[in-house]
Amino acid sequence: MHFALINNNRTEAQPLLKGLCTCCSKPVIAKCGTRKIWHWAHKSKTACDNWWEPETEWHRTWKNNYPADWHEISLLDERTGKKHVADIRTVHGLVIEFQHSHIDLQERTSREQFYKKMVWMVNGTRLKRDYPRFLKGKKNCFENPIFYNTENPKIFRVDLIDWCFPSAWLESSVPVIFDFRGDGSKDDSEGMRNTLYCLFPQVGRYARVAEISRKAFINATTNGEWTFRVQEFINDFRKEDEIEQNIQQQTISCTSNKVIYTWRGIPLFGGYKEYRKRLSASYKSIRKGKR
């Protein structure tokens, strides 16, 4: 952990210091070596928060984008009587969990159910193949197209999502952000590692991924807009899916081998071109209606 209590003050690890764990109040000692980042460790090997993973430079760098009194906030799970330490909990009640190691499905689900208003930040450089596979999908280099453009140039519909993201995260009930930059030492000839990729919880038929800059993510989570913005997007996705489904039901009737495009049951003279035009106009009107 980054902080321990000394005389009730949250204190960073320094050589020879002793303190108390902010979560379980048991004694912790400062570990200030050269191999790992300076941190606090429990004196005995008793399990404190069983969700805690050893911190890396990547965790620490990310956490330092937020005020220190939002770091390592311990919260009691009333159902189990256990305490858990959130990496970041903002004043707006949003929990940000930075995950480097593999996580199993059960733990991921329990953490989502416990924190509820949360977002995962996943280190996308843990396995060597993760980034190349993502890149291949993003650039549609597989035999099937994966990333489809939408009206919003930063948002994509993603098909065959398991071809480009690690399977552990695909059915998450909260947004999952992939950070492919790691510690910044990896080759980035494509210039794409600096962008974050947000996989939304899936609503309807399609997975959706948004590109977001680090700065925009940090700002939106710090000022509290994040949760509303995510909800707005999810509502839009639902509406888009509904409209498309309605249209599909009414659209295509086949006579011999000719396709007749219709709009709300009425055949269109312009055929497919007119149909696309109307579809895109109806997406635009959804977006306008919301603001």
Q: Interface with Zn ion by CB under 5 A: which residues?
A: 21, 23-24, 48
Shortest separation between residue 48's beta carbon and Zn ion, angstroms: 3
Longest dimension (CA), the chain: 84
Shortest separation between residue 46's beta carbon and Zn ion, angstroms: 8
Shortest separation between residue 23's beta carbon and Zn ion, angstroms: 4
Shortest separation between residue 116's beta carbon and Zn ion, angstroms: 23
Locate 197 and state its tokens. 């990729």
Nearest-10 crossing angle of helices 225-251, 271-290: 150
User: CA dist 158 to 61, 147, 188, 273, Å?
Assistant: 30, 5, 23, 24
Measured from the CB atom, the residue of 24 and 243 that comes closer to Zn ion is: 24
Shortest separation between residue 78's beta carbon and Zn ion, angstroms: 19
Measured from the CB atom, the residue of 34 and 50 that comes closer to Zn ion is: 50
Q: Whose structure tokens read 């000692």?
A: 29
Q: What is the C-alpha separation between 39 and 160, in angstroms, rounded?
A: 40
Shortest separation between residue 50's beta carbon and Zn ion, angstroms: 11
**Do 137 and 186 meet the contact criterion of CB atoms below 8 Å apart?**
no
Measured from the CB atom, the residue of 97 and 179 that comes closer to Zn ion is: 97
Nearest to 107 by CA among 56, 164, 52: 52
Shortest separation between residue 155's beta carbon and Zn ion, angstroms: 41
Measured from the CB atom, the residue of 21 and 176 that comes closer to Zn ion is: 21
Measured from the CB atom, the residue of 24 and 218 that comes closer to Zn ion is: 24
Measured from the CB atom, the residue of 82 and 100 that comes closer to Zn ion is: 82
Measured from the CB atom, the residue of 20 and 216 that comes closer to Zn ion is: 20
CA 18, 22, 26, 30 torsion-angle sign: negative
Locate 245 and state its tokens. 């489904």
**Do 101 and 126 meet the contact criterion of CB atoms below 8 Å apart?**
yes
Sequential DSSP letters for 102-168: ---HHHHHHHHHHH-SEEEEEETTSSTTHHHHHHHHHTT-SSS--EEE-SSTTEEEESSGGGTS-GG
